[in-house]
Structure 1
């Protein structure tokens, strides 16, 4: 589905932007609560800290093993933070290091089968919770919400590109 071209100087309804920002803040809060994470890990039977989950998800979604610097860029965090998280995930058996085919001195990281299983289990739990919460929504409403969310993320990524925020890359774009 083609996206409409953005108009650089178009006036935006500030009241709607304020409400959208408030709604997104509420969603972000709900998705990142410690108790929610702990419940999900218990339900999955997995031991993993909150910071490791998005890192492992990125690795599981990547088409090839990634360098630590690429992970840091995608997560918009400092490289030492990623190094520590990778060490924890490696000790737990969720990721492994492999040689970088382009540079013998460098290494890349990929999920192990156990790491992929962990991501699948986490996604199953979270999707189940989402499905339970949205059970009264029509299929059309769910489709519209997904389409609009993808469109919004693409717009955010386009804006990030225009201001030089390369933490969110075009490779993360997924259209329904």
Structure 2
């Protein structure tokens, strides 16, 4: 006799499972903010940038090609004028520069300078070092599970929120 396939999980079950996890997400966010991890990592990297400017620099460096200001804003889920101000700040510091958009000569694209790419690498190395120390004594399987599950959660939440935005006409 072939056993019946298990029932698919119900949203109520997932909600109950997450009820115990949500306070931990809040705890982690608060610990990172209270512990000033972004600021400490920026100091360790020798950067005197605030969080918004650092976020734009990291997004530009993460991209595999130069980006329009609107693309940066979309990736960061912020408004364009916010990004424009940060790009101007980063340009003054010679961490990013503008290049002509080959598809539209009236527009410009933003890309990191070598100094900007180096600064972003130093920052990310500092942040990763801090987290690596925090989980250094975890078994390899736990570290792999953490990476896999956080990636899945971030992707699923991002997809679901994007779908809601599309349904609402955003």
TM (normalized to structure 1)? Answer: 0.81
Q: Which has a greater percent of helix?
A: 2
- Partner of residue 61, structure 1: 62
- Partner of residue 23, structure 1: 24
Distance 1:93 1:26 in 2: 36
- Partner of residue 110, structure 1: 111
**Distance change in 2, residues 1:32/1:55 (3 Å):** farther
Kindly indicate whether the alpha-carbon contact (under 8 Å) linking 2:37 and 2:127 is maintained by their aligned counterparts in 1: no
Aligned residues: 159
Distance 1:75 1:101 in 2: 24
Task: State how 1:1-176 maps to structure 2 within 5 Å.
Answer: 10-33=11-34, 35-164=36-165
Distance 1:134 1:8 in 2: 31
Structure 2 unmatched ranges of 5 or more: 1-7
**Distance change in 2, residues 1:126/1:104 (3 Å):** same
State the shift of 1:9 in Å: 6.3
SS in 2 for 1:11: helix
Structure 1 unmatched ranges of 5 or more: 1-6, 166-176
Distance 1:96 1:8 in 2: 49
Q: CA RMSD in A?
A: 2.0
Which whole-Å deviations, capped at 9, do the CAs of 1:60-89 have from their partners, x for residues lacking one? 111111100111111121111111100111
User: Which is higher, the Rg of structure 1 or of structure 2?
Assistant: 2
TM (normalized to structure 2)? Answer: 0.84
**Distance change in 2, residues 1:96/1:22 (3 Å):** same
